[in-house]
Structure 1
Amino acid sequence: MTSPGAWLRRHDPGLAAVRRAARVTVVACLGFYVCRYVLGDPDMAAYALFGAVALGVLSQIPGTPSRRARTILLMLPVGAVLISLGTLLSFDLVAATAGMFVLGFVVSYVGVGGPRLVGLAAGTQLLYILPCFPPFDPGALGWRIAGFALAVVLLAGAELVLWPDRSPPPYTDRLAAAVGGLAGCLGALADAWSGGRRDRLEALLPDAVDAADALRPSTLPPGQAPASASRRDHALATAAGTTRLLLGRVADLALTDDRAAPDLPAATALLRQVASCVEAAAAWLRGEGEVPDTDRVAAALRAFRAARAATPPDGLPPDRLRPGSLALQLGEWTKTLVTALRVVAGAPVPPDPTPPSARPGAFWFAHEPEWALLWHRLREHLTPRSVSFQGALRLATALAVARLLAGLFDLSHGFWVLLTILTVLRTTAAETRALLRPALVGTTIGALVAAGLLVVGVPPTTYAVLLPILMLVGFAAGPLLGPGWAQALLTLVISMVFAQVSPADWHLAEARLLDVVVGAGIGVVIGLIAWPRGGTGELHRAAAEFLADAAGVVRETVRVVAEGARPADALPRARRTGRLAEASYALYQSERHLRPGVVDWQATLVAGHHAVRGAEALVRECPTGRLLSCVGPLDLAAADVAARFEHVALGLARQDRTALTAPTLPPPDLAWPTDLGTDLYHLADLRVWLDGLRDDLARFLAAPAAEPESSAAALRLRLAGIADGAPG
């Protein structure tokens, strides 16, 4: 038989949930008892207790204990403003409802700025909800803010001294492991191209893929992914995405064996320099070296291009030039990786080489002030097509409707209705319905027990003694036992709090049950009306738009490089839609899905990212207008790849399983010239990019349950599955 201690350690590793519940319990009870029994102010006592609950239980603040403490202290002026607005607008039902809608939307929407803002949203909502109900008492505003301030100061101190959580390992540790694994693979590949065996590369690749897999946002603890609007997080996300893309290309080269390629010696020298630069980047991430510099990889790229220019490949089959083109792609992406790490370090970065017509470039954020980056993120998602906008509007509507109904029907303790919505409403109607039953059952049980205690009429000191015990168990019950237990114990806790604030009888428990039923009903109805599919429906649309824009990137890039056409807006548009698609995918990952879908979303999005990244390098580095003699086959090849992107995009937009799984036509059999001189290398660069995109799209369907036939195939499937979070 499993002991309670073993069960607890298994379900709560490190006792993180228990420690957090204990901290909040101590702070909430201390603030409540001091204000209620020492200062004799019930209003102040309620705000001291619920302020601790808002920031300690409803809020999920990531980071180290010191960073969480700073975040809590920064909430003091924000909470004071919200409490003031709620108090001053409570005089009128229409004003309170309008304020609830506006603030409900704003508080939820600003979560697009990063994980810390997302984690604070639910708790911050409560700071307006609590005072926006009658009685209208502006004279109590000072005491309310004082009670909240007491909770903030005590909670910030408790984060530092009361059973503080272990500081999570920094994201840069995972990034260092992935970059180090990539460097080893690059070095082993260079050795293989120099005539060595491929055994070392084959041995290193699985561990490197494991390290890259650990960078996926879906594998990180909540709030640990670099997802804020800051320069540093933008750069970290770019570095992680580039590392994964580089590793995928290394695997492509591992499967390429052409030792007779004319530019193989130059490509091998480039790979050695690239491996050295990547190893220097990994050393800096580990804290063992200086900030890496782009000069070395830029010089290696120039040397490689010069060596290719001095070795005309006339008469050679185009496929013989493939290894050099892949190596060039590795070098360009390595320069991107090093530039991103320089942004992380706050070091100077080279000027943006993106042509003005194709801007903003990959590092548009490098020289922007932090406030401008946050403002850009807010403007970018201020569209009904953003899942962040949809979620904020859904929650604001539910809270406003609840506030209106609570006022129209004069529900006793009506703020419980809105609190229920905060805890029950989820991004999909299915998830909301799944939470409904345990919430109602738990609340009913808790209300019956609370009513029994109130009918018996136990002394007030009994409530004071039981409150911290029930708080500790109740706050830990949610993560450990589920929402039903959490609602039952929370009902008991709230009943005991209000029994100490004012005279109460069994009708208090009845009001709690009625309010939870009303709040749950509103949550279900709004969830069914407003974007009921959550991230699933929007992900289909956003990914379809991203791939359709990627098709435009393919066509435009070939016209620019081959014909010398002027770049239009295909690249900037694809970057924007790529970021919205990534946001939809992040929400999709946070939801429960009973069965796997037909689409491998990670592989689908990485196909779009490959299109954008490859096009950036080609437009920036390839001489334009030098391939006019082979415009015909190039246009046919580009049309074939773009049509494949559009085919998948149309199937996703229509959510047509048959169209997605239908076999596609084989690529066109094209005749390529062999007498273009050194321009054959540029033709090879374009062809490698197009062929890679065609291969990427071949992996957008979810992998079958059967095991791949070979280790190489298994590796390619895994590499297709480490793409989430790659920046657009």
Structure 2
Amino acid sequence: MRSLVGWVRRKDPQLVAVRRAARIMIVACLGFYVCRYGLNKPSMAPYALFGAVALGALSQIPGSPRQRARTLLAVLPVGWVLVTLGTVLSVTTWAATAGMFLLGFAVSFVGVGGPKLVGLAAGMQLLYILPCFPPYDPGSLLWRLGGLTMAVLLLAGAEVVLWPDPAPVPYRKRLGDAIGGLGACLHALADSWGGDPTGRDRLAALLPEATDAADALRPSRLPAAQRPASAGRRDRALSSAAGTARLMLGRAVDLYFTEVHEAATLPAATRLLRETAGCVESAAAWLHGTGPVPDTGHIVAALNEFRIARMNTDPNGLPPERLRLGSMALALGEWTKSLIFVIRVAAGLLPDHPDPTPPTAQPGQFWYAYRKVPNLWWHRLRENLTPRSVYFQGALRLAVALAAARLLAGVFDLSHGFWVLLTILTVLRTSAAETRSALKPALIGTVAGSIVAAGLLVVGVDPTVYAIILPFVMFIGFAAGPLLGFGWAQALFTLVITLVFAQVTPVDWRLAEARVLDVLVGAGAAVLIGVFAWPRGGGGELHRAVGNFIGGASRVIRETVSVMADGERPGTALPETRAAGMLADASYALYQSERHEASTIDWQATLVAGHHAVRGAEVLIRSCPAGGLLPSVGPLTATAWDVARRFERAAEGLLAHDRGFVERPTPERPAPVDWPDDLGSELYVIADLRAWLDGLRDDVTRIAGRPERVDGLRDRVSQLADGAT
């Protein structure tokens, strides 16, 4: 016994799976027994049991126990609607099939709104599937709704009082830790610039811890349900804050390797960096709940002071390298201003002025801060209503599979056809390869469970025995998936279903035979749809989405320099690339949920390169009037075109699914160009542009990086950002 407990502890250290299985078992059995034997309502009992299974076992609801309980209560009216529609549309096979397609798509597609909806999708699908089969019995609707209501109320209470799960670490705290570590690094860097001989060593000591804290924000390190990915304003702001913090940490590492002794405007840059560090730490304090909401006024004043100091320092005759540090410090300050702004948005303090983004460049970087919540949800749905969206693809392939399975079950009059659709929900994955990998354990488990179930039914055990053993089999079955694997879960769940129906209606050994047949039909439908509908899943769409994003970034680079040096009017490159980045982020999020062999492409570094291009361009275009750099158009164009071509080369390789492009030699840097040194204050803007372009050139070379083989501090930090912002 002790060895068994030790094995379970190793598999499930916090006993999350065991706690969850116990809660679902108690709620499902209690509801089932009360309805079946207490109230003597066989039509009510399955809904009390499967309601608990749908929202307890098939659903993944994020948050603390109290938050999960509130979510369950909030979705109860939606469950009523689905059960009602399933009951009404079961009048004919065609009506039920049409409803299955429309509701299957809608329930799955609304998951685009965030992790709570994604986690609920499979469970909500089951609430329509269960009543959409004969018998057509609208008279039992109230009893069905009563059973579902009992299940939800009991489950919500159990989440809070029955062995509640440990509350996960809030994303806000993780973000606070990362931003706090960044602030400490910036303070050490400022001390080093100010002459403190220990500052550089302190920075070197702080960076690994700050790196780990920022690494904890990577979506790949977080359960899908805990990622700030909803359509709401708060999650958008928190995600943007995380992306900004990762970019700032990368810039802090760059400054660690930058020579400062001969830098122009070093005292002014040091003051700006100290103010930047203070503002970053105030943001971390609010996230930790130990300080007020930070104000953008401090960093805005510091940026203005730095710009005035630069204007009062004549750069004529200075080598460009002496201007680089000030440009990098200015970029840090601008990113800090963005960080404080989104932290205020996350705190619910909306801007008291209209969106300053010019109409031709909208949507701007923080467009969501100026929109009402219903508009944000509609925007999220609308931007994903395209075949290029992985959310649209996933919802459509599932809807087609469920509708086809419902049609087959009706045409061939399968006695327990809802098992066909239940198999679709459990087997169909986002790619054909993943579907095939789930198919074998599903079939083996179902056959094994059916053999045991048939044996019980053939022997003719007294129904009381079914009622006694049901809780034990259910508990082991729901715990088996996380502890033993998918095949064991399928076997035991098959036995659970047999025990349930044996208590509701007269059955014989053919019930087990029907279970195997229905699973085979459902598995066949899942495989066919998986093969013909976007079989590559997130990996296939990721190449296209990220390729379009990186290709758009190359146009952003060219357009930015054309505006600043040639005086051209801003075009559509920025807003179009920002929209492409949203689809790329969504594709990467799905890709992370799938199993893949080690890739030759560092997708994280690829995405951060695109986001760096967009964010840098937004700041630079605001800092200089169009055509203000005309005297240096030649060197700027040559440098920008070289960087843009590197981005285009990466985009072409991604769109062609040519992973070998990362193995080919990186183009050499272009020949040195003669930079003017007599343009006065415009030299500072040129330095800002050069710092941005040099950073982008380094970013694009990291696409072929190997995150699992990172050597050196600069390379390690460069792998942090996912770009899922």
Q: TM-score range by the shorter chain?
A: over 0.9
Q: In the aligned structure 2, how far is the partner of 1:136 from the partner of 1:472?
A: 32
Name the CA shift for 1:537/1:132 in 2 (closer, same or farther; >3 Å): same
Residue equivalent to 1:703: 706
Give 1:34 deviation, angstroms. Answer: 0.9
Q: In the aligned structure 1, how far is the partner of 2:528 from the partner of 2:108?
A: 19
Match of 1:681 among 676, 679, 684: 684
Q: In the aligned structure 2, how far is the partner of 1:350 from the partner of 1:322?
A: 35
Residue equivalent to 2:93: 93
- Confirm or deny that 1:498 pairs with 2:501: yes
Contact conserved, 1:391 with 1:427, CA < 8 A, in 2? Answer: yes
Give 1:222 deviation, angstroms. Answer: 3.4
Residue equivalent to 2:716: 718
Structure-1-length-normalised TM-score: 0.97
SS in structure 1 of the partner of residue 274 of structure 2: helix
Contact conserved, 2:589 with 2:724, CA < 8 A, in 1? Answer: no
Name the CA shift for 1:83/1:251 in 2 (closer, same or farther; >3 Å): same
Contact conserved, 2:360 with 2:570, CA < 8 A, in 1? Answer: yes
Contact conserved, 2:611 with 2:723, CA < 8 A, in 1? Answer: no
Structure-2-length-normalised TM-score: 0.98
Q: In the aligned structure 2, how far is the partner of 1:151 from the partner of 1:695?
A: 56
- Confirm or deny that 1:436 pairs with 2:439: yes
SS in structure 2 of the partner of residue 61 of structure 1: coil
Contact conserved, 1:301 with 1:331, CA < 8 A, in 2? Answer: yes
Residue equivalent to 1:245: 247
Contact conserved, 2:666 with 2:701, CA < 8 A, in 1? Answer: no
SS in structure 2 of the partner of residue 723 of structure 1: coil
Q: Deviations over 1:619-655 (max 9, x none)?
A: 1222332211111221111111111111100000001
Q: Deviations over 1:63-87 (max 9, x none)?
A: 0111111111112111111111111
Give 1:356 deviation, angstroms. Answer: 3.0
Give 1:172 deviation, angstroms. Answer: 1.2
Q: In the aligned structure 2, how far is the partner of 1:494 from the partner of 1:689?
A: 61
Q: Deviations over 1:597-623 (max 9, x none)?
A: 110000000000000110111112223
Residue equivalent to 1:82: 82
Amino acid at match of 2:240: T
Amino acid at match of 1:403: R
Give 1:659 deviation, angstroms. Answer: 2.9
Q: Deviations over 1:95-150 (max 9, x none)?
A: 11111011000000000000000000000000111111111111111111111111
Contact conserved, 2:601 with 2:659, CA < 8 A, in 1? Answer: no
Give 1:522 deviation, angstroms. Answer: 1.0
Q: In the aligned structure 2, how far is the partner of 1:464 from the partner of 1:205?
A: 59
Q: In the aligned structure 1, how far is the partner of 2:708 from the partner of 2:89?
A: 57
Contact conserved, 1:425 with 1:432, CA < 8 A, in 2? Answer: yes
- Confirm or deny that 1:509 pairs with 2:516: no
Residue equivalent to 2:43: 43
Matches within 5 A, 1:538-557: 538-557=541-560
Matches within 5 A, 1:115-194: 115-194=115-194
Q: Deviations over 1:474-525 (max 9, x none)?
A: 0111111111100110010000100100000000000001111111111111
SS in structure 2 of the partner of residue 163 of structure 1: coil
Q: In the aligned structure 1, how far is the partner of 2:389 from the partner of 2:57?
A: 28
Q: Deviations over 1:27-58 (max 9, x none)?
A: 11111111111111111111111111100100
Match of 2:419 among 416, 423, 431: 416
Residue equivalent to 2:473: 470
Q: In the aligned structure 2, how far is the partner of 1:674 from the partner of 1:69?
A: 66
Residue equivalent to 2:312: 310
Give 1:2 deviation, angstroms. Answer: 7.4
Q: Deviations over 1:519-558 (max 9, x none)?
A: 1111111111111111111000000000011111111111
Q: In the aligned structure 2, how far is the partner of 1:707 from the partner of 1:434?
A: 31
Residue equivalent to 2:6: 6
Matches within 5 A, 1:450-469: 450-469=453-472
Match of 1:341 among 343, 349, 352: 343
- Confirm or deny that 1:576 pairs with 2:574: no
Match of 1:446 among 439, 442, 449: 449
Gap regions ≥5 residues in structure 2: none
- Confirm or deny that 1:386 pairs with 2:389: yes
Bigger drift between 6-15 and 354-363 goes to 354-363
- Confirm or deny that 1:586 pairs with 2:589: yes
Residue equivalent to 1:711: none
Q: Deviations over 1:288-326 (max 9, x none)?
A: 211100001000000000000011111111121100000
Q: Deviations over 1:379-428 (max 9, x none)?
A: 01111001111000111111011001111111110000000110011111
Contact conserved, 1:177 with 1:211, CA < 8 A, in 2? Answer: yes
Matches within 5 A, 1:198-217: 198-217=200-219
Q: In the aligned structure 1, how far is the partner of 2:687 from the partner of 2:724?
A: 26
Give 1:259 deviation, angstroms. Answer: 1.3
Residue equivalent to 2:369: 366
Contact conserved, 2:419 with 2:518, CA < 8 A, in 1? Answer: yes
Amino acid at match of 1:325: S
Give 1:660 deviation, angstroms. Answer: 3.2
Residue equivalent to 2:104: 104
Name the CA shift for 1:2/1:695 in 2 (closer, same or farther; >3 Å): farther
Contact conserved, 1:562 with 1:631, CA < 8 A, in 2? Answer: yes
Residue equivalent to 1:276: 278
Amino acid at match of 1:315: G
Give 1:664 deviation, angstroms. Answer: 3.0
Q: In the aligned structure 2, how far is the partner of 1:668 from the partner of 1:222?
A: 43
Contact conserved, 2:350 with 2:370, CA < 8 A, in 1? Answer: no
Q: In the aligned structure 1, how far is the partner of 2:709 from the partner of 2:409?
A: 55
SS in structure 1 of the partner of residue 676 of structure 2: coil
Amino acid at match of 1:567: P
Q: In the aligned structure 2, how far is the partner of 1:718 from the partner of 1:376?
A: 36
Residue equivalent to 1:16: 16
Bigger drift between 607-616 and 89-98 goes to 89-98
Contact conserved, 1:87 with 1:138, CA < 8 A, in 2? Answer: yes
Give 1:255 deviation, angstroms. Answer: 0.4
Give 1:193 deviation, angstroms. Answer: 1.2
Q: In the aligned structure 2, how far is the partner of 1:571 from the partner of 1:346?
A: 27
Q: In the aligned structure 2, how far is the partner of 1:152 from the partner of 1:716?
A: 51
Contact conserved, 2:175 with 2:287, CA < 8 A, in 1? Answer: yes
Give 1:704 deviation, angstroms. Answer: 8.1
- Confirm or deny that 1:67 pairs with 2:67: yes
Contact conserved, 2:548 with 2:580, CA < 8 A, in 1? Answer: yes
Q: In the aligned structure 2, how far is the partner of 1:192 from the partner of 1:5?
A: 53
Q: In the aligned structure 2, how far is the partner of 1:625 from the partner of 1:312?
A: 21
Contact conserved, 1:609 with 1:726, CA < 8 A, in 2? Answer: no
Residue equivalent to 2:232: 230
